[in-house]
Amino acid sequence: MAKFLFVVPPFFGHISPTLSVGASLLAKGHEVLWVGITDLADEYIPEGGRFLVPHRELEPHRAEINRILRRQDDGAALSGPQVLKLALEETYIPFAQMMREGLMRLIDEHKPDVIINDCITFAGGLCAYSKGIPYVTTTPVPPDVMGDALQAPKIFEWQQRLMRALQQEYGIYTDDFVMHSAQMNLVFTSESFARMPLAMPHMKFVGPVKGRPNHTFFDFNALDKVTTPKVFISLGTLLVDIRKAFFEKVIEAFRDEPLTIIAATDPAIIEDWPANFMVQNYVPQTRLMPFMDAVVCHGGFNTVNDALLNGLPLLVTPITYDHFHTAGLVVHSGAGLKLRYKRMRAEDLRAGVQTLLQDSAYKTASARVRDGFIAAGGNDQAVAYLEAFAASVTCNSTAIV
Amino acid sequence: MDSLVPTHAPVNSEDTFAVLKTFIEEIIGEDFKDEIDIRRDSSFTADLELDSIEIVAFSEKVKLHFGSKLDFTGWLSNMDLDELIALKLSDVIEYIEACR
């Protein structure tokens, strides 16, 4: 049995697949820890796992961490190049700097066999490299998300400069970038959906994973009585400020339509929801999806994966970050449509959903993506890769001793 | 030399501005075009608030209209982030003029 330590950012979309993989590792008898920068409620943590936050070392940075977290909501109002800056320069790199000291201590205390760092949580890779502990990276989004931007030489140079400076702060002077594992990178989609048939061999596309604890209540009896097509609409866990405006448009589009809208948002943002809406702030999304007929979302990857895993057609309204890239992949796969968000018109939203429900080609294409996801192996394949990795590195270290 | 200028291309910067303004209005659409004031010094991101989908549509139109002499995508890809963030309609006009 091995001891695995996940290093995660304070964004639930990135934590979520690690909870699912972690649950599967725990079920196989491994020891599993998480280290994050903000606390995670116990109900999300798989039985037997532990989620640690090095509060002592993070204390002086707490105000700054909170400021950075609040700043993420600005993403919705920023342009592509501004978002790149916000992500790398104002979020990932400062977090990597702040996590260093506390993560180093926790690694010394817990001595994991393998560190598994999320792709935007550079501290995990950098600490693992510094300590000589084998590490794997997890990528919960399609990998070449910055692809287009990095073809621009000055933007590429900017990214390289920042990453190199960060490594040097860690006392790492190699020419290679080591924040991501060169040995194994688990990617939670398929090569064909991500359109990366020529990915490097250490990129392991295992498809979406599931099984994290989710005890959220939903009135499935009420859902059972619904006779009209059911459309799930969510903007994910970030981007709270823009919800009112978005759902006002959703209401304009679908009020009194022969549809039932399952809206994942705080009901308090709107005073009067139409009768054909079921509204709840947090929903058990993976358990709800099998009952849906279509999904409208912003292109957050967990929602897209949940929809595709159920063979559902999608309408994506990309807002910021990697959403545009993901929306492009959805459209290319044939499983859905994209609609601009800022100047979205209610009639286009309504027409888009009608098209998805009437033209079976979208559903067929989504089912094709689902088959590819299932073939990629999901949790079992991820665990098999991690066990093989742990076995190979444990062997090596024994041999050295 | 004038005879070499394609007849559909505008001949001065006022005309170029008018063409680009039409492109932006077409992309933004009837329902929204009154909400924004398109000026020469409008920036694409802060003032016009064009998102990625709309900027791609804009550059397609520019390429189609102004023709092959102009490497609009190549020009954009040589900018750094701050230049992209600050990009104004007048920069595009100047670039188109310079390519003549």
CATH code of the domain in which A273 resides: 3.40.50.2000
Describe the crossing of helices A346-358 and A360-376 by its angle, rounded to 10 degrees.
70
Chain A neighbors of B84, CB-CB under 8 A:
79-81
Do A168 and A25 lie in one domain? The reply is yes
Query: Does this complex have an ipTM over 0.85?
Result: no
- Give the pLDDT of chain A (401 residues) as one tens digit per residue: 999 999 999 999 899 999 999 999 999 999 999 999 999 999 999 999 999 999 999 999 999 999 999 998 887 778 788 888 999 999 999 999 999 999 999 999 999 999 999 999 999 999 999 999 999 999 998 876 555 666 788 988 999 999 999 999 999 999 899 999 999 999 999 999 999 888 889 999 999 999 999 889 999 999 999 999 999 999 886 667 788 989 999 999 999 999 999 999 999 999 999 999 999 998 999 999 999 999 999 998 999 999 999 999 999 999 888 888 899 999 999 999 999 888 899 999 999 999 999 999 999 999 999 999 999 999 999 999 999 999 998 765 544 43
pLDDT value of residue A149 = 63
DSSP state of A118: E
Give the residue from A78, A79, A161 with the most B CB atoms within 10 Å of its CB, the best one to mutate: A79
pLDDT band at B33 (very low <50, low <70, confident <90, very high): confident
Gap between the Cα atoms of B68 and A392, Å rounded:
55
Do A278 and A314 lie in one domain? The reply is yes
Do A189 and A254 lie in one domain? The reply is no
Q: Is the dihedral of CA A325, A167, A188, A17 positive or negative?
A: negative
User: Residue B4 above 60 pLDDT?
Assistant: no
pLDDT value of residue B99 = 83
Q: Looking at the domain assignment, is residue A168 inside a domain?
A: yes
pLDDT value of residue A394 = 74
Do A9 and A124 lie in one domain? The reply is yes
A11 close to B (CB below 8 A): no
A221 close to B (CB below 8 A): no
What total number of domains does chain B contain? Answer: 1
Chain B residue at shortest CA distance from A151: B77
A323 close to B (CB below 8 A): no
Chain A neighbors of B36, CB-CB under 8 A:
none
Do A113 and A227 lie in one domain? The reply is no
Side-chain-side CA neighbours of A378 within 13 Å: the count stands at 18
A39, A11 Cβ separation under 8 angstroms: no
Chain A residue at shortest CA distance from B51: A79
Which positions in chain B have a beta carbon within 8 angstroms of at least one beta carbon in chain A? Answer: 28-29, 31-32, 44-46, 49-55, 76-81, 83-85
pLDDT value of residue A77 = 78
Gap between the Cα atoms of A392 and A295, Å rounded:
42
The residue segments making up the domain with residue B34 are 2-98
pLDDT value of residue A398 = 46
Size of interface A-B (CB pairs under 8 A): 59
What total number of domains does chain A contain? Answer: 2
CB-nearest to A158 from B45, B54, B81 is B81
Rg (Cα) of chain A, in Å, rounded? 21
**Mean pLDDT calculated for residue range B70-91:** 88
Q: Looking at the domain assignment, is residue A213 inside a domain?
A: no
Do A245 and A385 lie in one domain? The reply is no
The residue segments making up the domain with residue A18 are 3-207+377-400
Gap between the Cα atoms of A150 and A166, Å rounded:
19
CATH at residue B85: 1.10.1200
CB-nearest to B78 from A84, A152, A345 is A152
Q: Looking at the domain assignment, is residue A17 inside a domain?
A: yes
Q: Across the interface, do B45 and A82 touch by the CB < 8 Å criterion?
A: yes
Do A187 and A250 lie in one domain? The reply is no
**Mean pLDDT calculated for residue range B86-100:** 89
Rg (Cα) of chain B, in Å, rounded? 13
Q: Across the interface, do A152 and B52 touch by the CB < 8 Å criterion?
A: no
pLDDT value of residue A240 = 72
- pTM (2 decimals)? 0.90
pLDDT band at B49 (very low <50, low <70, confident <90, very high): confident
Q: Across the interface, do B51 and A152 touch by the CB < 8 Å criterion?
A: no
CB-nearest to B79 from A79, A152, A342 is A152
Do A181 and A281 lie in one domain? The reply is no
CB-nearest to A324 from B49, B53, B78 is B53
Chain A neighbors of B51, CB-CB under 8 A:
79-80, 318, 324, 340-342
Do A202 and A318 lie in one domain? The reply is no
Q: Looking at the domain assignment, is residue A383 inside a domain?
A: yes
A365, A335 Cβ separation under 8 angstroms: yes
Do A185 and A272 lie in one domain? The reply is no
A95, A125 Cβ separation under 8 angstroms: no
Do A193 and A224 lie in one domain? The reply is no
